[in-house]
């Protein structure tokens, strides 16, 4: 089902949804071009899962309309279901079965012929780095392995669109980067992905476009560069022990990291916006400060987080 002729794979107009007194979605519009990754970024309770469930036909909107792969999610829900994959925050796989058994079972649930389910399961295990672990029971898997198995299960039917609801929440950094690699692989093959996340760096790593959602409304959207640009990007920050050396530290830092540092008012802190994210900037700053005989209490690379984006956009933290 790849190579669908839709320029826009996901299209939502003024989607609204309430749960009794809670407004979960308050008029959301969305356009996701075919073959791209859209990152829906927002804190807990923002409405991410509600939107995903509506787009995946598991929940009806109160009003508004959405089309996925050219089909209406309410009136043509069945047709949509055949074209999508969904992986939630909590693994849907059976702990007592092996990875391979799980995938074969899912294949049968999707009505794949037995032989095809078997072949597909083997191919997916291979592709997600689980070939060796395939015959172990899932209860022995790490968090990252489980999540990859879960994503593999949602790909048994070659969906045109994949919804990933907080694919790395709760994972350790190593498992997280394994899941990121798996997602990047899918994207290279042309799958359109909508992923939700609470992490700016995750959206930055994976998404072509990011929408920031807060209390059921999209409050900003743009490329990762645009969004990070609006919060100032990566900064090198140092805290100087002796306040009389602040000026000297600014000079040293200016040359070392090729930026225009400023002193944070009322603090012994200097902040410099830098290009790129390299740790070598820190090394250069340390060397330059050391050469100038300046003692620091702290020196760090600060990447903007969802909190920074929120503070900037809404004036409040998440």
Q: How many residues does the chain have?
A: 318
Q: Which of 14, 116, 100 is nearest to 65 (CA)?
A: 14
24 contributes a contact to ligand ADP by CB under 6 A: yes
Strand, coil or helix: what is 130?
coil
24 contact choice in ligand ADP, Mg ion, none (CB below 5 to 8 Å, kind-dependent): ligand ADP
**What is the closest distance, in whole angstroms, from the C-beta atom of residue 52 to ligand ADP in the complex?**
8
Which residue of 2, 44, 63, 317 would you call a contact of ligand ADP, by CB under 6 A?
A: 44
Give the whole-angstrom CA distance, residue 214 versus residue 143.
Answer: 28
Q: Are strands 161-165 and 8-19 parallel, antiparallel or unpaired?
A: unpaired
Which residues here bind Mg ion, judged by CB under 5 A?
48-49
Q: Which stretch binds ligand ADP (CB under 6 A): 44-52, 183-191, 279-287, 301-309?
A: 44-52
Quote the radius of gyration of the chain (alpha carbons, Å): 23
Beta-carbon-side half-sphere exposure of residue 257 (alpha carbons within 13 Å):
33
Q: Which of 130, 193, 205 is nearest to 165 (CA)?
A: 193
Strand, coil or helix: what is 22?
strand
Which residue of 22, 63, 223, 317 would you call a contact of ligand ADP, by CB under 6 A?
A: 22
Q: Which is nearer to ligand ADP, 35 or 45 (CB)?
A: 45
19 contact choice in ligand ADP, Mg ion, none (CB below 5 to 8 Å, kind-dependent): ligand ADP
Q: Which stretch binds ligand ADP (CB under 6 A): 46-54, 126-134, 226-234, 235-243?
A: 46-54
**What is the closest distance, in whole angstroms, from the C-beta atom of residue 196 to Mg ion in the complex?**
6
**What is the closest distance, in whole angstroms, from the C-beta atom of residue 211 to ligand ADP in the complex?**
12
Which residue minimizes CB distance to Mg ion?
A: 49
Q: Which of 278, 267, 281, 272 is nearest to 239 (CA)?
A: 267
Residue 111's CB is within 10 A of a number of other CB atoms, namely 9
49 contributes a contact to ligand ADP by CB under 6 A: yes
**What is the closest distance, in whole angstroms, from the C-beta atom of residue 19 to ligand ADP in the complex?**
3
Interface residue list for ligand ADP (CB under 6 A): 19, 22, 24, 42, 44-50
């Amino acid at each position: 089902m790849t190579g669908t002729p839709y320029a826009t794979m996901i299209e939502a107009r003024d989607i609204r949804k309430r749960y009794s007194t809670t407004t979960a979605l308050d008029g959301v519009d969305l356009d996701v071009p075919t073959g791209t990754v859209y990152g829906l970024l927002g804190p807990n309770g923002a409405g991410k899962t509600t939107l995903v469930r509506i787009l995946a036909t598991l929940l009806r909107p109160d009003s508004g309309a959405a089309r996925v792969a050219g089909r209406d999610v309410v009136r043509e829900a069945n047709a949509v279901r055949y074209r999508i994959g969904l992986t939630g925050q909590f693994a849907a796989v059976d702990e007592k079965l092996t990875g391979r058994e799980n995938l074969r079972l899912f294949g049968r649930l999707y009505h794949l012929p037995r032989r095809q389910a078997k072949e597909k399961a083997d191919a997916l295990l291979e592709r997600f780095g689980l070939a060796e672990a395939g015959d172990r029971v899932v209860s022995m898997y790490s968090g990252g392995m489980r999540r990859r198995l879960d994503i593999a299960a949602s790909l048994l039917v070659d969906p045109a669109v994949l919804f990933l609801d907080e694919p790395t929440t709760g994972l350790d950094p190593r498992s997280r980067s394994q899941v990121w690699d798996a997602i990047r692989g899918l994207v290279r093959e042309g799958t359109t992905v909508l992923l939700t996340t609470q992490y700016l760096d995750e959206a930055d790593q994976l998404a072509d476009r990011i929408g920031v959602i807060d209390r059921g409304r999209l409050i900003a959207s743009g490329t990762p560069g645009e969004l990070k640009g609006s919060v100032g990007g990566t900064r090198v920050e140092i805290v100087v022990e002796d306040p009389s050396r602040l000026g000297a530290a600014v000079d040293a830092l200016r040359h070392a990291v090729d930026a225009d540092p400023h002193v944070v008012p009322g603090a012994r802190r200097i902040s410099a916006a830098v290009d790129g994210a390299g740790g070598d900037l820190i090394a250069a700053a340390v060397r330059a400060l050391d050469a100038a005989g300046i003692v620091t209490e702290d020196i760090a690379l600060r990447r903007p987080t969802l909190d920074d984006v929120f503070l900037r956009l809404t004036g409040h933290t998440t």
